[in-house]
Structure 1
Amino acid sequence: MKRIVGILFLLFIIIYSSTIYYHVKKPLPIGMSVEGAIHQVEDIELLTDITYKNKQNKRVVQHEVFHTMLKDIQQAKKFIVVDMFLFNKDTNEDQVYPPLVEEFTKALIKKKTDNPSISIVLLTDKINTIYGSYPSEELNDLKQIGIKVIETNVKKLRDSNPLYSAFWRMFGQWGKTNGNGHLPNLLAKSEQKITVLSYLELLNVKANHRKLLITENAAIISSGNIHNASGYHSNIAFRVDGNIINDLLESEESAARLNEHLHLPRIPKQPETNTQIEIQLLTEGKIGKHVLEEISKTDSKDSIWIGILYLADRNVIDEIKAAAARRVHIYLLLDPNQNSFGNKKSGLPNIPVVAELRKSKVSKNIHIKWYNTGKEQYHPKIMLIERETADTIISGSANFTRRNLYDFNLETDIKIIAKKETKVAIETKSYFQRLWTNDGAEYTRDVDTQSKLPFFRYIVYRLQRVLWFTTY
């Protein structure tokens, strides 16, 4: 009997280990991890959503990204493609947020009603129905008017939480969720109950994390979600036009193909002349590749500016230290990770990362500030590298984490190389300087008061890095 048990246990270990290995290393679906063609463009528009405390100690909220998206929806005539990770109005009952989802949904429905022939497609993540625990009123309204809604099938992606996901793939993925949950909703306590199967799927911690809008006129690549509880977050986006629109549409077609074959329209190819701005689409692992390459190419004449929600990837942190050792001045503007949709957070991962960087031998060249957040997050994902003649910008949906940079989540960024005299280069540097120097408001604060971390949380942080069991 013991021998049979031993054989069965050995067989389980072999299957379990093989499942882990395969789903971490398996081939990516076609069209993932894209390094697009380099396009020449005349101009790129920087858009910002900023929440800050003014000199009168009052919170001010500016929604340039969101309102530009609404304007582009109004001006579209042929097609609209939206890919948005969070698209829901779920909140705790004691919290009040801007009705972003309701406004955005009404704008799409009005456009489809006024122009029935227009093609509108919305890709999103299953998190918005908590993996089938309850329906989304907004998604159902969009479907009823004839708008194509796709909840992305992320099972086909690699596993970012492999020790758990192997168990789930072996025993849990075969269950079907049909609502009627009985467990409390930890993501929004006043919303409907969650099923056990939904929580089991949620623990895989994988997502279509993209955030963008495309029409025949322009595309907006953003760090922000159309999500009520994100309504006060600070975010950043770039509005682009030209042939890169077709690259984005092809990438979105590949994401849709995870569920079904779908053909998205294209715009006519436009002539490109040598200009002062180059732009390139990067998705999934190619974002990480270019982030690391660009940091590694810096020297003492360059400066690096990073504004981001999560800085956790070891490769990026090591490259930052190496650049600082080359006497590159690095400016990190980070969220303190104290708040998430009105709920308190532990300060992971940024507080221990900041503590590590400040203790490093090259800390004199690494300058760090917290964004002065209230109940919102500093949510951008942007890197600016200042060089002598041209600046490099990488921005979009990807945080600097293993999950976001190495072919686990679906992510969309753009890479911009712009001569220093161009509008986009000037405005991007001005954005960072405005926040860093607190020009006109109290945007940022020093790290000293928040750089300490209780020992237990530090141990949790280290274990999360080893086991991969984390949301960052």
Structure 2
Amino acid sequence: MHSPAAQPNVAAEMPPQKQQVQTKRPAIRIRIRWIAAIFCLALFASVVLYHTNKPLPEGLSFESKAYYTGSVSFLQNLSFERGGERVYEDQIYAAWAEAIARAEHWIVLDTFMLDGYQDRDAGFPPLTKEITDKLIKQKERYPELRLIVITDEINTMYGSYPAPAVERLKAAGAEVFFTDLDKLRDSNPLYSGFWRIFAQWFGQSGRGWVPNALADTAPDSTLRSYMKLLNVKANHRKVMLTDKTAIVSSANIHDASAYHSNIGFQFEGPILKDVWKAEQAVIRMSGGPEIDLDFTKAGLASNKGIVATADYKFARPDRAQIRLLTEGKIADRVIRSIDEAKAGERIWIGMFYLADRDIVKALLGAAERKADVRLILDPNKNAFGQQKTGLPNIPVAAELTERSDGAVKIRWYKTGEEQYHTKLMLIQKQEEAIVIGGSANFTRRNLDDLNLEADLMIEAENGSKIVGEVEGYFERLWDNRDGVYTLPYEAYDAKLPFVKQTAYAIQKMLGFTTY
């Protein structure tokens, strides 16, 4: 038998230099891949870290001087049941209309939403058109009046289409500024890091093909618009400023939100210059010009009325000390005020979203010190007739109840298809009270210099008119006076299904939330 022919040893026949080259190539390719992976991770990490911690644009996170005034009033919109029927009371929209009608020199409107779209057959009132009509009419009445509108890109679904109300105001001569949200810190850093590196360069405009989540009558959106939306940050302020008055509230100019329960404060005097200072900062951040409003012509050139100390003893019970707070300065004042609450003093909070961990901790501490803590919360169960998950208020309420052994008292607002959209706190001390209210929910996104927010802080005697108005509001809702406003804590099951509990824990850890 013949033995099989021996197979040639190819490697042995190769020159030594060629063998070394072939051996090195896979190792080189592996090293290149590792270097590329490390570079990509380093780039991603640097983008995330920078845009999470970058300096705030000039003028944000602002606290005004304190002003001593008798010109501050409480506004409330309430949706509730009486005699088995839904009743709606409005003070905020009426105050907006009156403020517009009185303006002669300027109107500055900074509003998160300016949107008239609603679902078919929803039947909400045309709030956006009504306010837009009033603004245009006043501009026609006073052609030299400066009409300045600052708003959020949500009204164009982040660039998918023009906003009808905004376009009407532009045509009437309004100066319109869409807030540059990219200048704000990232609240969903892992997602926003990806978006900033790979997606932001393609823009959002174009022919939409994705159904609009805001309303079925709104134009379809581009997928790129939804990708920007997932950064979840906003100019969430609700401020109206004229040469006569200012209104800071929790209410949006949005048809589908027209029946929400909201609160607001109307005030006058030299503090209006500080309100404008906070608004000019947003315009500047968004690439707009420095605008000179003539406060002398409006009779607001003087700073008369500034109070030098928060310990000022009010000479008259109808007087109050007021400050404008924006962004993180709201959290500073809220947490400090709760931390100072003593035994027997009462803390009232009415809130759409309550989730901030520092505030939860402060409330538990106040309850442990025997302060009387009472919360009225939206159950987060519906929005415009659509079911929601109950996050974050139901698990947070359960935590507060359990950890305080029931010392934190909670009632749920009895909503219909609307929301209890209020953002309000009242702390009643032995002799005086602190009120803080406006646009800011008590959540990380609203209080940690991520969103743009605006609240008014009021300090006054317990017997003052403004404190009496706010106290009366809370007592009316808590005791269901002249209607059905709130339900006991037990009305909503505090235990979420395991899947939702897990989702809440992950959201809380990573920041992937819409609240």
TM-score calculated relative to the size of structure 2: 0.90
Please state if 1:29 is matched with 2:71: no
Q: CA deviation at 1:412?
A: 0.5
Q: Which residue of 1 aligns with 2:435?
A: 393
Cα deviation per residue 1:350-399 (whole Å; 9 max; x = unaligned)?
00011111211x23321100001000000010010000111000111100
Q: Is the 8 A contact 1:303 1:385 kept in 2?
A: yes
Q: Which residue of 1 aligns with 2:301?
A: 268
CA distance in 2, matches of 1:59, 1:111: 33
Cα deviation per residue 1:271-294 (whole Å; 9 max; x = unaligned)?
227754111111101111111111
**Where in structure 1 do 4 or more consecutive aligned residues deviate above 3 Å?**
273-276
Query: Which of 141, 146, 170 matches 1:143?
Result: 170
CA distance in 2, matches of 1:9, 1:173: 22
Q: Which residue of 2 aligns with 1:113?
A: 140
Q: Which residue of 2 aligns with 1:74?
A: 101
The one-letter code matched in structure 1 to 2:64 is G
Please state if 1:337 is matched with 2:389: no
Q: Which residue of 2 aligns with 1:216?
A: 243
CA distance in 1, matches of 2:458, 2:340: 16
Q: Which residue of 1 aligns with 2:19?
A: none
Structure 1 residues without counterparts, runs of 5 or longer:
none
CA distance in 1, matches of 2:439, 2:161: 26
CA distance in 2, matches of 1:302, 1:271: 33
Identify which range, 3-12 or 399-408, moves more after superposition: 3-12
Q: Which residue of 2 aligns with 1:241?
A: 268
Q: Which residue of 1 aligns with 2:445?
A: 403
Q: Which residue of 1 aligns with 2:486?
A: 444
Aligned-residue CA RMSD in angstroms?
A: 1.1
Q: Which residue of 1 aligns with 2:329?
A: 286
Query: Which of 354, 367, 377 matches 2:409?
Result: 367
CA distance in 2, matches of 1:95, 1:4: 58
Q: CA deviation at 1:204?
A: 0.4
Cα deviation per residue 1:394-450 (whole Å; 9 max; x = unaligned)?
111100000000100000111100111110001100000000000010000012131
CA distance in 2, matches of 1:272, 1:202: 43
Q: Which residue of 1 aligns with 2:152?
A: 125
CA distance in 2, matches of 1:345, 1:3: 49
Q: Is the 8 A contact 1:372 1:445 kept in 2?
A: yes
Q: The residue matched to 2:216 in structure 1 has which SS?
A: coil
Q: Which residue of 2 aligns with 1:60?
A: 87
CA distance in 1, matches of 2:148, 2:461: 35
Q: Which residue of 1 aligns with 2:463?
A: 421
Please state if 1:48 is matched with 2:90: no
Q: CA deviation at 1:270?
A: 4.8
Q: The residue matched to 2:412 in structure 1 has which SS?
A: strand
Please state if 1:194 is matched with 2:221: yes
CA distance in 2, matches of 1:217, 1:270: 15
Q: CA deviation at 1:178?
A: 2.5
CA distance in 2, matches of 1:34, 1:295: 20
Cα deviation per residue 1:41-93 (whole Å; 9 max; x = unaligned)?
11311010100000x11001112101110111001111100100011012121
Q: Which residue of 2 aligns with 1:307?
A: 350
Q: Which residue of 1 aligns with 2:7?
A: none
Equivalence map 1:319-330=2 (5 Å): 319-330=362-373
CA distance in 2, matches of 1:134, 1:75: 33
CA distance in 2, matches of 1:385, 1:119: 38
Q: Is the 8 A contact 2:120 2:216 kept in 1?
A: yes
Q: Which residue of 2 aligns with 1:102?
A: 129
The one-letter code matched in structure 2 to 1:140 is E
CA distance in 2, matches of 1:262, 1:228: 32
CA distance in 1, matches of 2:450, 2:36: 31
Distance 1:308 1:289, change over 3 A: same
Distance 1:465 1:273, change over 3 A: closer
Q: Is the 8 A contact 1:250 1:264 kept in 2?
A: no
Q: CA deviation at 1:190?
A: 3.0
Cα deviation per residue 1:218-262 (whole Å; 9 max; x = unaligned)?
100000101101011000000011111100000000001122123
The one-letter code matched in structure 1 to 2:197 is M
Q: The residue matched to 2:334 in structure 1 has which SS?
A: helix
CA distance in 2, matches of 1:344, 1:90: 19
Q: Is the 8 A contact 1:337 1:348 kept in 2?
A: yes
Cα deviation per residue 1:136-172 (whole Å; 9 max; x = unaligned)?
1111110011011111111101001101001111111
Query: Which of 213, 232, 236 matches 1:205?
Result: 232
Please state if 1:18 is matched with 2:51: no
CA distance in 2, matches of 1:338, 1:7: 49
The percent of aligned pairs where both chains have the same amino acid is 42
Distance 1:273 1:322, change over 3 A: closer
CA distance in 2, matches of 1:122, 1:395: 22
CA distance in 2, matches of 1:427, 1:179: 49
Identify which range, 8-17 or 177-186, moves more after superposition: 177-186
The one-letter code matched in structure 2 to 1:424 is I
Q: The residue matched to 1:391 in structure 2 has which SS?
A: strand
Q: Which residue of 2 aligns with 1:353?
A: 396
Q: Is the 8 A contact 1:324 1:363 kept in 2?
A: no
CA distance in 2, matches of 1:48, 1:10: 55
The one-letter code matched in structure 2 to 1:316 is I
Q: Is the 8 A contact 2:65 2:306 kept in 1?
A: no
Cα deviation per residue 1:4-47 (whole Å; 9 max; x = unaligned)?
11111111111111111111110000000011111111131101
CA distance in 2, matches of 1:150, 1:363: 49
Q: Is the 8 A contact 1:95 1:342 kept in 2?
A: no
Please state if 1:181 is matched with 2:208: yes
Structure 2 residues without counterparts, runs of 5 or longer:
1-28, 308-313
Identify which range, 228-237 or 350-359, moves more after superposition: 350-359
CA distance in 1, matches of 2:278, 2:306: 24
| The structure with more radius of gyration | 2
Cα deviation per residue 1:94-141 (whole Å; 9 max; x = unaligned)?
312111100000000100111100011010000001011111111111
Q: Which residue of 2 aligns with 1:6?
A: 34
CA distance in 2, matches of 1:212, 1:178: 28
Q: Is the 8 A contact 1:43 1:424 kept in 2?
A: no
